[in-house]
Amino acid sequence: MKILIADDEPLARMRIRSLIKEVGGLEVLDIEASNGKEVIEFSKTCAPDLVLLDIGMPGINGMEAARQLADLPTPPIIIFITAYDEYALEAFNRQAIDYLLKPVSKERLQQALQRAALLHQRQTPRTEKPKSQQNQEVGARTHISVVVHGETRLIPVDKIYYFRADHKYVTLRWSGGEALMDESLKALEPEFAGQFIRVHRNAIVALVQISGIKKDLEGQYSLTFQDIPDVLEISRRHLQTIKQTIRDMWGKRSKDFKELEDD
């Protein structure tokens, strides 16, 4: 995985390069970018797999550079490294996989680099994969921006219990409550495949948030969740897939699944 360092401060570039060397096992390009224009030029000529991108650079800033990089035939993975914490929302909307605040620790940088390496492995070779799969891997977000009581919030995906459709809108249920989205389940489902699973034509749920399955007196199955009282109906079409998926996750010795085996 080839890495391009982009920062207008020479000492900052030197420190990042030193930390990457301590982490080990990664290729850092000898050439470095000191402004947004160079980021774009070097990304076109050197084709880095990952750009460690500062925001406050002269001329074209990091955010604008990221927007232009996204239009390249093979856009690089982006990790922002900046002194500004107020751009986190926009950064994730730019499909950055991480947002690090200066001064960056070796441990925090290593964690971000490991995530980038895993994503890079899944994307390679990118040109041989279906376009839909490329979009899924490149575009999978770690946070989702929503408006709650007039305020834009950045919701961590790992705090979300489920997405449920209702007419033209989708409700996002997370540990802090609910929020409306204008995205469709059809778009969300492939993006978060492997993290969320379809349980009904109007709902997909986070696998890690499921606490069990229950059946009512009329034979209707529903999902229950950890820490919240919500219950979601499971359609007959998806029931067997849900049962098998959760058995694979928890094992057949689970009390809940022993009951299901007896049905």
> Can the peptide bond before residue 73 be classed as cis, meaning omega within 30 degrees of 0?
no
- Cα 259 to Cα 242: distance, rounded to the nearest angstrom: 15
Has domain 145-261 been given CATH number 2.40.50.1020?
yes
Question: What does the radius of gyration of the chain's CA atoms come to, in whole angstroms?
Answer: 21
Q: What mean pLDDT, rounded, does the chain reach?
A: 84
Query: Model's pTM, two decimal places?
Result: 0.53
Residue 142 has pLDDT above 60, yes or no: yes
pLDDT digits (tens, 9 = 90+) for 96-131: 888 888 999 998 898 888 878 877 876 665 444 444
Instruction: Determine the pLDDT at residue 133.
Output: 46
| Residue for token pair 């955010």 | 63
Q: How far apart are CA 67 and CA 212, in angstroms?
A: 42
Domain residues of the chain, as ranges?
2-138, 145-261
pLDDT in tens, 205-253: 998 888 889 998 988 999 999 889 999 999 999 998 888 877 766 654 3
CATH of domain 2-138: 3.40.50.2300
pLDDT at 42 over 60: yes
Cα 163 to Cα 153: distance, rounded to the nearest angstrom: 16
Report the share of the chain in percent with pLDDT over 90. 45
Q: What is the mean pLDDT of residues 88-93?
A: 74
Kindly report whether the peptide bond that precedes residue 156 is cis, defined as omega within 30 degrees of 0: no
Q: In this predicted model, what pLDDT tens digit does every residue of 19-32 receive, in sequence order? A: 999 988 889 999 99
What pLDDT does 134 receive?
44
